């Protein structure tokens, strides 16, 4: 019984020490992506945009060799004549914003541009249940972005206008 109590105390002590450390490290890493996204939104604001919306719900499913993930997050989305810009983040505890790598989605394959990870569209984007579904490929990953804008038809039209 004493061994069990000792293991339980060690586990709780480890969790109490590590949970805040993990929180702050993730926050520090994500804050650089948030800063990049804010700078890019400012520079994109100077261009004529076909679509712009902040705080859009996003479900991302990714498949890579030996890996699969499904993530629910928020995204600020911009579309100009050349690309779809997806600035992804999580919001925790009301005010804490954890940024994720920013995506630049085009119809053609290209290298990383302006602080965005580049992905290209595979197949035809479509509307399903009020969400715009876009299948993209980034390096060896196949990613499905399910964006839920207020006006899905407008976002889909802006994506097709990028061609």
Mean pLDDT to the nearest integer, 110-115: 72
Q: Output the domain CATH number for residue 24.
A: 2.30.29.30
- Look at the chain and report how many structural domains it folds into: 1
More confident site: 51 or 34: 51
Whether 27 shows a pLDDT value over 90: the answer reads no
Range of the structural domain that residue 20 is part of: 2-161
pTM of the predicted model as reported, rounded to 2 decimal places: 0.84
CB-based contacts of 87, cutoff 8 Å, min separation 6: 33, 37, 40, 41, 75, 76, 77, 78, 99, 102
Residue 81 contacts residue 161 (beta carbons within 8 Å)? yes
Whether 115 shows a pLDDT value over 80: the answer reads no
What are 82-96's pLDDT values in tens digits? Answer: 899 999 998 877 777
| The pLDDT value given to residue 128 | 95
Residue 86 contacts residue 116 (beta carbons within 8 Å)? no
What tokens does 157 get? Answer: 């039209």
Mean pLDDT to the nearest integer, 136-148: 93
| The pLDDT value given to residue 21 | 84
What are 41-58's pLDDT values in tens digits? Answer: 888 888 889 999 999 999
Whether 122 shows a pLDDT value over 80: the answer reads yes
The values of phi and psi at residue 114, to 5°, are 50, 45
The whole-angstrom separation of Cα 31 and Cα 158 is 29
Mean pLDDT to the nearest integer, 66-76: 91
């Amino acid at each position: 019984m004493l061994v069990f109590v000792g293991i339980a105390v060690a586990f709780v002590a480890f969790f109490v020490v590590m949970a805040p450390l993990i929180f702050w490290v993730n926050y520090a890493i994500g804050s650089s992506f948030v800063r990049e996204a804010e700078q890019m939104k400012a520079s994109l604001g100077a261009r004529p945009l076909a679509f712009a919306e902040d705080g859009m719900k996003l479900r991302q499913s990714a498949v890579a060799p030996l890996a699969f993930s499904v993530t629910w997050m928020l995204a600020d989305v911009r579309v100009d004549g050349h690309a779809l810009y997806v600035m992804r983040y999580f919001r925790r505890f009301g005010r804490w914003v954890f940024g994720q790598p920013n995506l630049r989605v085009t119809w053609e394959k290209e290298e990383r541009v302006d602080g965005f990870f580049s992905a290209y569209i595979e197949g035809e984007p479509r509307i399903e249940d009020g969400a715009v579904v876009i299948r993209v490929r980034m390096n060896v990953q196949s990613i499905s972005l399910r964006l839920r804008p207020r006006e899905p038809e407008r976002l889909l039209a802006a994506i097709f206008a990028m061609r």
